[in-house]
Structure 1
Amino acid sequence: MTSRVVSVFGATGLQGGAVVDALLKDGTFVPRAITRDPESEASKKLKARGVEVVKADSIDKASLVAALRGSEAVFAVTLPVIPKTEGKGEDVQGKNIVDAAKEAGVKFFIWTSLPSLSEYTNGKYKNAIHFEDKQIVHDYLRSSGLAHATLLLPGFLENLWNLGNLKKTATGYTIAAPSFNATNIQDFIWIARDVPAAALALLRNYADPTKQVNGKTYSVVSVRLSYGKLAELTAKALGVEVTYTTGPPTGLLPVDEMWDALAEFGWYTSDTPAPNPDLVALGAKFSTVEDFLEAEVKPRFGN
């Protein structure tokens, strides 16, 4: 039987690594990790688990075509390039991956994306280049002729430690984020659980035309709450005081414009119920914030 290979970009990172884990556990598909450095420690750990690791650079389309040969599907994520480097931005990388997938005969393409904040805010905020570039790739993918689906991602709950949003204080902890006050509502996902759940649901159903997966954009939302409520639930999980405070700007214009835009205009996934019923209907099982706090925050921050 021919293996159903899913080539995964970002396999040594948070999103792609979680998808590789889910594919290995599920067993329906065989993950292939695409990386610039197959000899990195993270790559070696994947190899030790039996994962095929293939070298390719998203700036080099020829290397991508070779790496994607024999893949049934692609899970593609690119990292923000801030400040943007000419010829190496996410828009260039994403387009190269799309072109290579098409040339290699890939049957289905999953793109994790963000919307244009310039469009979302009617031109008020134009400098969040990581949003603009991902939207460019989304539009390019849509016009490519490849069967595909786009995952629109909100805030990452893992940023409590990855970005240091949860910090120790004399009496407990504080959560801080720029621009947002304690009552601003934000959409979140637990990346390590919810992105793989969505990706697997799409991979299992894309070939069934009755499911109408092709060409669709899915907002991956599992948690919707204010930062004040997040602090309250975190305090309950840890058994200590947890407060919320509005943090200072980051000093990076694209990132600060992102926070300002979302605080003023609301989260771009807010029209979608949490969890997304379309993904639930495809079999995706999403987590609650209580699940996340119990499994991830208590072991990291609990006494």
Structure 2
Amino acid sequence: MSKQLTTVDVVSANLGDKACLVKAFEGAHAVFGVTVGLTQESEEVQGRNIVDAVRAAKVPLLVWSFLPSATEVSKGKYTTIRVRSLLIASYVPFDQKNAVEKSISTVGQPAVILNTGWFADNLLHQLNPDPNNSKKWNIMFSLRRETKMPSVWVGADLGSIVTAIIDHWEDESWKQRLMKEPIAVAPYEILGGKQAETLANVTGKDVAYVQQTEAHSPHVRQTDVHQQALKDLGNFADEGLFKYPDHSDLLKKLVVKTDSFEDYVREVVVPHLQSTE
């Protein structure tokens, strides 16, 4: 991003080509780093390339979307966590994204680290018609209905949060505060059962939450590795290991208005369900 956000230049770059990234980043005031799954290079390699290119191009600020190391948080108990395990069998972003965060510290790149939590946007992949009742919908996920997940509506909130960080970056007091520790940009926690309850209340439809102990989805490949990852993700969250500190006051001081799960349901899920009728 340029310092003045009144204009946007679109450039092409390959996350696997560091030299290409350096050229793309030249003159940028800030870079928001996002890696891509299911490509030739792992997310860790892509992330390290972004970090090195940002440093080489002398970009003042890197904003990095971060996940904790599941291996470290669980003290080696969970090593196969896939944050999108319901959708893609070979995604392993928890530890890979954590490794990139360590790389940022090693090279000395000024950066703001964001903990994004679970994406409300994933709900459309989890919401399926009940096979035995055409008037009923099921939210299918690996967590127990009583498990809380820190969450964010990426499509509505993440861009405004990143923009607010960039706008405050040149204020030295804000800079130190933003760099002090990873910032949780998960405005709310929600239970799986509460998701179903909210959908039912807003849409007037019969909605249930179904804990998925096996992968029964056209979006995933049925493999033993994936099944174990699905189980581990559920256990990881059930044991309270996927939990962030409350940074809502910080977001308010950045003058960022965030959205609730109900907002997401009204603006995205309702039109989606209407389109299926």
TM-score category, normalised to shorter length: 0.7 to 0.9
Could you say what secondary structure the match of 1:5 adopts? coil
Distance 1:256 1:207 in 2: 44
Q: Name the aligned partner's letter for residue 285 of structure 1.
A: K
Could you say what secondary structure the match of 2:179 adopts? coil
Distance 2:256 2:6 in 1: 16
- Percent of counterpart pairs with the same letter? 26
Q: CA deviation at 1:284?
A: 1.4
Give 1:222's match in structure 2, choosing from 169, 187, 202: 187
Give 1:268's match in structure 2, choosing from 237, 243, 264: 243
Unpaired segments ≥5 residues, structure 2: 82-91, 216-222
Q: Name the aligned partner's letter for residue 262 of structure 1.
A: A
* 8 Å Cα contact 1:151/1:219 also seen in 2: yes
* 8 Å Cα contact 2:213/2:230 also seen in 1: no
Q: CA deviation at 1:53?
A: 2.6
- Map of 2:138 onto structure 1: 174
- Map of 2:200 onto structure 1: 235
* 8 Å Cα contact 1:121/1:265 also seen in 2: no
Distance 2:6 2:183 in 1: 21
- Give the alignment of 1:69-108 within 5 angstroms: 69-81=26-38, 88-108=41-61
- Give the alignment of 1:100-119 within 5 angstroms: 100-119=53-72
Give 1:122's match in structure 2, choosing from 39, 64, 75: 75
* 8 Å Cα contact 1:81/1:130 also seen in 2: no
Post-superposition Cα deviations, 1:121-140, rounded to whole Å, max 9, x if no partner, equal: 11100123311110010111
Q: CA deviation at 1:232?
A: 0.5
TM-score by length of 2: 0.83
Distance 2:19 2:230 in 1: 32
Q: CA deviation at 1:243?
A: 0.7
Paired residues, number:
250
* 8 Å Cα contact 2:114/2:182 also seen in 1: yes
- Map of 1:141 onto structure 2: 104
Q: CA deviation at 1:79?
A: 2.6
Could you say what secondary structure the match of 1:158 adopts? helix
Could you say what secondary structure the match of 2:139 adopts? strand
Distance 1:79 1:255 in 2: 20
Post-superposition Cα deviations, 1:91-139, rounded to whole Å, max 9, x if no partner, equal: 1111111111111110110001111001111110012331111001011
**Cα–Cα, structure 1 residues 258 and 30, in superposed 2: closer, same or farther, change >3 Å?**
farther
Could you say what secondary structure the match of 2:182 adopts? strand
Q: Name the aligned partner's letter for residue 15 of structure 2.
A: S
Unpaired segments ≥5 residues, structure 1: 7-26, 32-51
Could you say what secondary structure the match of 2:79 adopts? coil
Could you say what secondary structure the match of 1:150 adopts? strand
TM-score by length of 1: 0.77
Larger relative CO (CA 8 A, sep 6+): 1 or 2? 2
Report whether the alignment pairs 1:194 with 2:157.
Answer: yes
